[in-house]
Amino acid sequence: MKKPLGLLVKSYLGLPLMLLMFFSSLSAAYSQDEAFYISTSYKNLLSNPEQTGMLDRIMEDIFRRIGLDARIVFTPTEKSLVDVNAGLLDAELNRIAGMEAEYPNLIQVPEPNMTMEFVAFAKKEFPINGWDSIHDLYIGIVRGWKILEKNTAGFPQRTLVPTETELFTMLHKNRLDVALYSKLTGYAALKEMNYEGIFHLKPPLASRKMYLYVHKRHADLVPKIAAALQGMKKDGSYARIVSEATGPYIKD
């Protein structure tokens, strides 16, 4: 049986109101979540699903000091920056300086999280003297590591892989001459994968300070975060966390 015209009109007029109420309830639910979501692509001693990594613990302490609950969430390397830049997440855990040039919605916290050495891992010695010295080698890097992508752009025998698992597996199977990665997390990955006979070549290809980036909507938090991190470095809590988390993996 057909509905009267008046009833149909009322039904259609009521639909926008119902949708508005639905989305308003969703917004209210999200507004009650005071957590600050930090994106990372790490699954190693710096950050892990158990939230026991070095940077997990440092971020937890920083945000506790400024009255916020930090939660670290995993996102693949390249997608991580894109999602934070789009405002889907609140911050990016650990990147080199200058990322705002490519991702304009990001603001760098000026106090560094750490200093990271980028090295070439190999199974035999190769002379290392800057990026040009590895130009003709078969090299592998993890997609999304901007410093490595930029400095090896145009190299004829470069392979990009999704994660460090594929990277070190290829090196282990002699499909690469060198695997480019950070020294500290590289040794942690090798230990977890139980690969022996792989070592880093000296000197490092680069050494960079690493920073937290926040979405621009959190610009007011930047000085508070920086001050909290400086406070951790002054009171010894930063050094204690770093020592506990990285001690077993430190190599000369």
Cβ–Cβ under 8 Å, residues 185 and 86: no
Cβ–Cβ under 8 Å, residues 225 and 214: yes
Per the model's pLDDT, the better-predicted residue between 8 and 114 turns out to be 114
Which residue from 42, 234, 51, 206 is spatially nearest to 115, judged by alpha carbons?
206
Integer CA distances (angstroms), 41 to 74, 92, 184, in order: 5, 9, 15
Domains of the chain: 35-115+210-249 (3.40.190.10), 116-207 (3.40.190.10)
Task: Say yes or no to pLDDT of 19 above 80.
Answer: no
Task: Say yes or no to pLDDT of 4 above 50.
Answer: no
Integer CA distances (angstroms), 230 to 62, 72, 226, in order: 9, 21, 6
What are the tens digits of pLDDT across the range 158-200? Answer: 999 999 999 999 999 999 999 999 999 999 999 999 999 999 9
- The tokens describing 126, both together, are 């190769």
**Mean pLDDT over each residue of the chain, to the nearest integer:** 88
Task: Say yes or no to pLDDT of 28 above 80.
Answer: no
What are the tens digits of pLDDT across the range 132-156? Answer: 999 999 999 999 899 999 999 999 9
Task: Say yes or no to pLDDT of 8 above 60.
Answer: no
What are the tens digits of pLDDT across the range 232-250? Answer: 999 999 999 999 998 877 7
Task: Say yes or no to pLDDT of 30 above 50.
Answer: no
User: What phi and psi, each to the nearest 5 degrees, are found at residue 205?
Assistant: -70, -30
Per the model's pLDDT, the better-predicted residue between 252 and 74 turns out to be 74
What are the tens digits of pLDDT across the range 116-131? Answer: 999 999 999 999 999 9
What are the tens digits of pLDDT across the range 42-66? Answer: 888 899 989 999 999 999 999 999 9
